[in-house]
Amino acid sequence: MTMAMYLVVFRNRKRADIDGPAYDADAARMHDLAQRQPGFLAFKSYAADDGEVVAISEWVDEAAARAWRRVADHAAMQDKGRRVYYESYSLFAGTPNRVHHFRQGD
């Protein structure tokens, strides 16, 4: 059985001159805020050796993900990210067409 979900994939590269501790504090605050939003399922972030970061958030549906986008504190942080933290980013969002699961022993 596959649970319905909406994925948001945020690929980014941070500027070389950012204040790392300030970024970490802002990211932690946004993660805490996102977890309290209706429809939030999960969030994980991965950093590659070349500096690219891929962050994946899972939502119950598109409406929940879009509602998160409109949260005032999140919108303000998106603006700050463009001005202060990110050199570049791409965002991909949608409902997966296929989902496969594997668990050892099943």
Q: Stretch 51-80: mean pLDDT, rounded?
A: 96
Residue written as token pair 């994925």 = 7
Q: pLDDT for 33-65, tens place per residue?
A: 999 999 999 999 999 999 999 999 999 999 999
How far CA 63 is from CA of 34, 46, 49, 71, in Å, comes to 14, 25, 34, 13
Please report, rounded to a whole number, the percentage of residues in the chain having pLDDT higher than 70.
97
Residue 53 pairs with which residues in a beta bridge? 12, 47
**Position 2 pLDDT exceeds 90:** no
* Straight-line distance from the first to the last Cα atom of the chain, in angstroms, rounded to the nearest whole number: 13
Please report, rounded to a whole number, the percentage of residues in the chain having pLDDT higher than 90.
88
Q: Stretch 88-106: mean pLDDT, rounded?
A: 91
Q: Mean pLDDT in the chain?
A: 94
Q: With a threshold of 0.85, does the pTM exceed it?
A: yes
Domains delineated in the chain:
6-94 (3.30.70.100)
Q: Hey, what are 76's tokens? A: 């303000």
